[in-house]
Structure 1
């Protein structure tokens, strides 16, 4: 891998983890990308550098925003895979619904991911989610209205909640941002 590359060595590992979390084989993704299995295997092992177009297609196949694959920051070598500095979190998603998310986990190679979520005032999820995950959230500040499996709750600082393979929806109809830490298994970003 080119030492001047904008990606850390975790790009390939993250692609592999996301692919496996979605139950996809190398062959299935390679076919969708119109690439060889060998090329994709080299990308996952950080032996080959995907182009911007390749990254766009890989993100689309994995159902993640391209920023997720693009935003590997250059942490000092001794910290990579161990420490994520506050100013070096990887942004996730577009923020269109008023939700700003940052990855707290060093990468996506664990059985779970930790996410810092900020729900902007007067924002709401446009389409309810129903993912094959188990999620636990802990509210740091603000209030959030949740509907989980048809039940409605309002949570605030110090409260926690769990979503287990159920449809859910969030809204922050309040005047202050709501901040939560989420643990999601398996990783979805």
Structure 2
């Protein structure tokens, strides 16, 4: 799949799940503190949500964020994924997440997150109900935790682990690309 196919796939998943949950665009937009126009553009594949937006959408629709990776690609082995078999989400704000987990129904999921220079998860703090952590493979990752005065910058081979429902946001404030292996449980 190319990037446009992936964006359109995400749009369909968001729209269909919202309708299945019996929510109007207005109701969901209010729950995630975004405009109806923005949400409509996401559902039509015209705008890409930020990581914070998609996390808020998944929480409002009562599904894990990994739900939006459910479009499967054919694989020879169900416990192995190869680069051409992976699902990718292209977010606004310069973040691209590649689902590297072979299965979504296991005890955890893994993402290969790519952050362009200046990329961020969005202005709002994420509030994900899953426990998560990461390992910085290259570049720099800056994390802001709700309730802490100073952000923390992580470098290659640094890692972090956050409990469920911890409010945070992240960004690549450097001039180099950043990659993070992100793990969700």
> TM-score range with shorter-chain normalisation?
0.5 to 0.7
Between 172-181 and 149-158, the greater mean CA deviation after superposition: 149-158
The count of corresponding residues between Structure 1 and Structure 2 is 131
Alignment of 1:131-142 (within 5 A): 131-142=128-139
> Which deviations, in whole Å up to 9, do the C-alpha atoms of 1:47-88 show, x marking residues without a partner?
xxxxxxxxxxxx995475986233x11112xx1x21000222
> Which deviations, in whole Å up to 9, do the C-alpha atoms of 1:114-171 show, x marking residues without a partner?
1110111111222210112211100000001111243320001000011113101101
Partner of 1:148: 145
Which consecutive unaligned segments of at least 5 residues does structure 2 have? 1-17, 23-57
Alpha-carbon distance in structure 2 between the residues aligned to 1:120 and 1:31? 35
Partner of 1:109: 105
Say yes or no: does 1:85 pair with 2:82: yes
Secondary structure (helix, strand or coil) at the match of 1:182 reads strand
How much does 1:102 deviate? Answer: 0.8
Cα distance change on mapping 1:157 and 1:144 into 2, 3 Å: same
Q: Is the 8 A contact 1:148 1:163 kept in 2?
A: no
How much does 1:184 deviate? Answer: 0.5
How much does 1:31 deviate? Answer: 6.5
Q: TM-score, normalised by structure 1?
A: 0.60
Partner of 2:119: 123
Alpha-carbon distance in structure 2 between the residues aligned to 1:177 and 1:31? 38
Partner of 2:181: 181
Q: TM-score, normalised by structure 2?
A: 0.61
How much does 1:113 deviate? Answer: 0.6
Higher gyration radius (CA): 1
